[in-house]
Amino acid sequence: MPAQAPPPLPQPDWGTAARCFDCGDRSVELLLRLQQPPLALFDGLLSAPECAALIEAARPRLARSLTVQSHSGGSEINPERTSSGMFFGRGETELVRRLEARIARLLRWPVENGEGLQVLHYPVGGEYKPHYDYFDPAEPGTVALTRRGGQRVATLLIYLNQPQRGGATTFPDLGLEVLPRGGQALFFAYDRAHPGTRTLHGGAPVWEGEKWIATKWLREREFV
The domain made up of 29-219 is a member of CATH 2.60.120.620: yes
pLDDT digits (tens, 9 = 90+) for 73-84: 455 556 666 679
Q: Model confidence at 17, in pLDDT bands (50, 70, 90)?
A: confident
- Are the CB atoms for 213 and 81 separated by under 8 Å? no
Burial of 35 (C-beta count, 10 Å sphere; 0-12/13-18/19+): exposed
Angle CA 110–116–119, to nearest 5? 130
Distance of CA 143 to the CA centre of its chain: 22
pLDDT value at position 68?
A: 57
Tell me: the pLDDT tens digits for 39-64? 999 999 999 999 999 999 999 999 97
Q: Do 130 and 203 touch, CB atoms closer than 8 A?
A: no
pLDDT at 91: 96
